Amino acid sequence: MIDILVDRGDLGGARALVERVRPRPRIADGARLFGEAEAAVLIAEHRHAEALARLDAVAHLVPGMANPTWRPARSLRARALAGIGRRAEAIDVMSDELAVARRWGAPALLGRTLCQLGVLRGAAGVPHLREAVALLAGSHGRLEYARALHALATHAATATAERTSLLYRAYEVARRCGAEALCGQISDALRHDGAAAPPAPAPLTTSEQRIAARYADGADEHEIAEALFLTPARWAGPWTRSVSAWAPAPAMTCAPPSAPTNPPAILPARRSPRRSRTSASIKGIWPCLDLFSATLCP
């Protein structure tokens, strides 16, 4: 939750949450998780030396934890070190993290690590940034993909058209994630370049909101159509707009979006699809429902 508040740009809310839960008793991994979460808030507040001290205080806890996704201590330490000007040390830390991430093999983790190391290395890190974008394009790490696009636009793209295209794509992905802080950074970069501001999303209709809510709850298209009395002929548009936030984004270049999809700014994590006892039977009668619908609503 603290990371979400930071990504949304709500540092006050993140700090308030840290202070609210601070008095609670915790041991072992719970204490380690809290310490690293507070370090992330301190970094966002530009209190990098304090963040390093907080990380040092919990470094001895659960020493056998090797998964960098569950224990992002090295990436946090590198950000804090870079924040106080110790960039060479930060690069060494992230180089170690990259070796671990490659062994672990998860695309979102590896892409995030490559992106952070690429940013630290500047021009020499552009190959890392390009690898990160390629890895994350087809993964479920949508926010990390937006960050990698933004970093590539900042550090590698010199041609105005290429940079603008990367920034627009990064903005669209970040907006779908509800990452308001990143959206603000991208908007500032576009304004600095004299590019048009990203288009504001149109709100979903009532029907589209109902579709999105049922899809987030795990229902498939057949269950939703049955529940909302929708036939395939009247289904395609609302379905596409409502669930586009969960679909993997196209891989690389894009022009400024002229007709963006418009999911809600923040959507709940989708539950696993439920098995429908009626979806098979509804498929068989849909042609009849289409005909009936066309008769009633010519």
Give tens-digit pLDDT for 57-108.
Answer: 999 988 878 788 888 999 999 999 999 999 999 999 999 999 999 998 899 9
What is the percent of the chain where pLDDT is above 70? 74
- Rounded Cα distance, 73 and 109, in Å: 13
**pLDDT tier for residue 147 given thresholds of 50, 70 and 90:** very high
State the average pLDDT over residues 251-256.
36
The reported pLDDT for the residue numbered 222 is 77
Long-range CB contact pairs, 138-141, < 8 A, 24+: 138/107, 138/248, 138/251, 139/107, 139/108, 139/111, 139/248, 140/108, 140/248, 141/107, 141/108, 141/111, 141/112
Task: Write down the pTM of the prediction.
Answer: 0.68
175 against 233, higher pLDDT: 175
- N residues, the chain: 298
Residue 207 — very low, low, confident or very high, per pLDDT cuts 50/70/90? confident
Residue 243 pLDDT more than 80?
Answer: no
How is residue 24 written in tokens?
Answer: 């609670």
SS3 236: helix
Residues 113, 116, 119, 124, CA torsion sign: negative
CB 223 within 8 A of CB 214: yes
Has residue 166 got a pLDDT over 90? yes
Q: Take residue 20 and report the two structure tokens written for it.
A: 């609210």
Q: How many CA atoms lie within 13 A of 91 on its CB side?
A: 12
